[in-house]
Structure 1
Amino acid sequence: MDEKRPESVLSSPPAAATSSGGRTTADEKLTPTPECICRGTPPTPEQNEGPYYKPYTPKKTSFRGDVENGTPLVLHGRVVTVDGFPVGGALLDFWQVGEEGVYDETGFRLRGHQFADADGRWRLDTVVPAEYPGRTRHVHVKVQPPDGEVLTTMLYFPGERRNHLDKHFRPECLMDVHKTAEGWSAAFTFVLDG
């Protein structure tokens, strides 16, 4: 039974010509069409870093070992330009609270940085942050392309009862959140201007 591939208006040509005159054989595979972010997507909004940012965080892609409790959360996504091109090697620096709603100000618990891969993809294994006085659930992040300006922003969870009460909340920074067997999965694409 043949599997049909969806046709794309913005399909890219194969990475290399095939030996069968443009058709693939059983031993050859086409390069998948990359995810498309349409031109004109507005840049991710800048937000303040707040009083709890700390520089010189350790490089890590998981905060799970930083806490004993909490609902598992996988944050993941891409960093792209406003034209939809991936920003490989972008620096992402995350910080957040755990289920107690308190930032670690003496160490680097629930704090760390990583680099996006060549396709602009990133992933952070963490826990769902708590609400705390005056704030809805959120995760702070700084994103910096190689040799570019730093974007400081926050990521938010949809459907939170306190979103509309938080003066910092930006609907443009809502993540796409889904429940999984292990906890939660949340996706976000950072769109950088310039």
Structure 2
Amino acid sequence: MTAALVATSAAGAALAAPVSPVQEARAAGRPPAVTPACDGHETPAATEGPLFKPQSPERGDLITPAIRGVRLDLTGVVYDPDCTPLPGTLVEFWQCDQNGDYDTSGFSLRGHQYTNSRGAFRLRTIIPRDYWGRWGRRAPHIHTQVQAPGGPVLITQLYFPDDTQAYGRDFAALNAADGLINRACTIALTGPHDSAYTGAFDFVIKTTAQ
């Protein structure tokens, strides 16, 4: 892991969109698109939070025998602001489990990977649960750090549409009550199919400090 991963980023401003892109697509009778589409705007940053651990294992599959929960297969592409895919980009993920607990002694539901020659990544994990933290009750989210070779680190959090179904939780209410949520960082979901979701999210990041 590079030392730059310790860098901090400004917290993303909360957006008040009441309807997710997936809900809009379903209402219009069309398949949900990858969210957000690359339009030159960088993915909003967010607070790192207190539970990041360096030196996570390099892996794209976070499902271990001890993990139970609603499965999520997340894919995406990392772009620069000119919408050029970025091969070899470091993408780090960490999250809580189906009970709202983070593994602070080991590396359960933690890992990093590098984008392939097309700038793409794939993550096999679970939908996290909401939990109480230092900022109050947090809506379900996945923490990420994204860094092109030699570039600055983007720290952000990925959220779930209001109509997500997992653990009997009301995602719409949880999202509405979370003061840190940024709706621009909502994963596009399809499913559930066989009790599992397929998700997509593309990152747009800087490749230089300027």
Task: Tell me the TM-score normalised to structure 1 length.
Answer: 0.77
Is the 8 Å Cα contact of residues 38 and 83 (structure 1) preserved in structure 2?
no
Query: Alpha-carbon deviation of 1:164?
Result: 1.9
State the superposition RMSD in angstroms: 1.8
Taking the TM superposition and a 5 Å limit, the aligned residue runs for 1:2-81 are 40-65=39-64, 67-81=66-80
Take 1:129 and 1:73, find their aligned partners in 2: how far apart are those partners? Answer: 10
Preserved CA contact (<8 Å) 2:145 2:155: yes
Deviation at 1:65, TM superposition (A): 0.9
Instruction: State the shift of 1:39 in Å.
Output: 6.9
Q: Deviations for 1:53-100, whole angstroms, at most 9, x for unmatched residues?
A: 000101011111163311111111010011110010000010001101
Q: Which runs of 5+ in 1 are unaligned?
A: 1-34
> For 2:64, what is the secondary structure of its paired residue?
helix
SS of corresponding position for 1:65: coil
Select the residue among 146, 150, 156 that pairs with 1:143: 146
Match of 1:21 in 2: none
The higher radius of gyration belongs to 1
One-letter identity of the residue aligned with 1:177? L
Q: CA contact under 8 A between 1:66 and 1:109: conserved in structure 2? A: no
Matches within 5 A, 1:157-168: 157-159=160-162, 160-168=172-180
Consecutive unaligned residues in structure 2, runs of 5 or more:
1-33, 163-171
Deviation at 1:41, TM superposition (A): 3.0
Q: State how many pairs are aligned.
A: 159
Listed as ranges, the matches of 1:106-185 within 5 Å are 106-133=105-132, 134-159=137-162, 160-182=172-194, 183-185=196-198
For residue 112 of structure 1, what is the amino acid of its counterpart?
G
Supply the distance in 2 between the matched residues of 1:42 and 1:69 (Cα, whole angstroms): 36
Structure of higher RCO (CA pairs closer than 8 Å, 6+ residues apart) = 2
User: Percent sequence identity over matched residues?
Assistant: 36
Q: Tell me which residue corresponds to 2:205.
A: 192
The CA distance in 1 between the partners of 2:54 and 2:127, in whole Å, is: 22
With the length of structure 2 as denominator, give the TM-score of the two structures. Answer: 0.72
More helix by share: 2
Task: Give deviations 1:143-188, integer Å, cap 9, x for gaps.
Answer: 0001111100000001132112111100110110111434001100
Q: Which residue identity is paired with 1:154?
A: Q
Instruction: Identify the range of structure 1 (162-171 vs 49-58) with the bigger mean alpha-carbon deviation.
Output: 162-171
